[in-house]
Amino acid sequence: MKRKILNIFTVSAIITTIGFLMDGDVKEPSMAMRFTEFFAMVTIIFLAISLIYLPLNSLTKKLQRVRQ
């Protein structure tokens, strides 16, 4: 489980970094605000992926056990 969470965090950080690099909006002059926005987006994407992936993974494992 720890490995899965680390992988989800890595994917969300990569997606957020790509999003920030591709963003064409004017950047905030405050570095604190930039870091806040970055970590907020990492958290949102991490939660979104986790809420979809972990229950689906658990469900597929349970279905495989029932099938055998």
The number of distinct structural domains making up the chain is: 1
- Kind and range of the H or E element at 13? helix 2-22
Q: Are the C-beta atoms of 6 and 53 separated by less than 8 Å?
A: no
User: What gap in Å lies between CA 1 and CA 19, rounded to an integer?
Assistant: 27
What was the pLDDT predicted at 56? 95
* Phi-psi domain of 37 (left: phi exceeds 0; alpha: psi -120 through 50; beta: other): alpha
Question: Which of the four pLDDT bands, split at 50, 70 and 90, describes residue 24?
Answer: confident
26: pLDDT confidence band, cut at 50, 70 and 90?
confident
Q: Which domain holds residue 34?
A: 2-67
Q: Convert the pLDDT of each residue in 29-64 to its tens digit.
A: 888 988 999 999 999 999 999 999 999 999 999 999
Q: Taking 90 as the threshold, does the pLDDT of residue 12 lie above it?
A: yes
DSSP string, 21-46: HH--SPPPS-HHHHHHHHHHHHHHHH
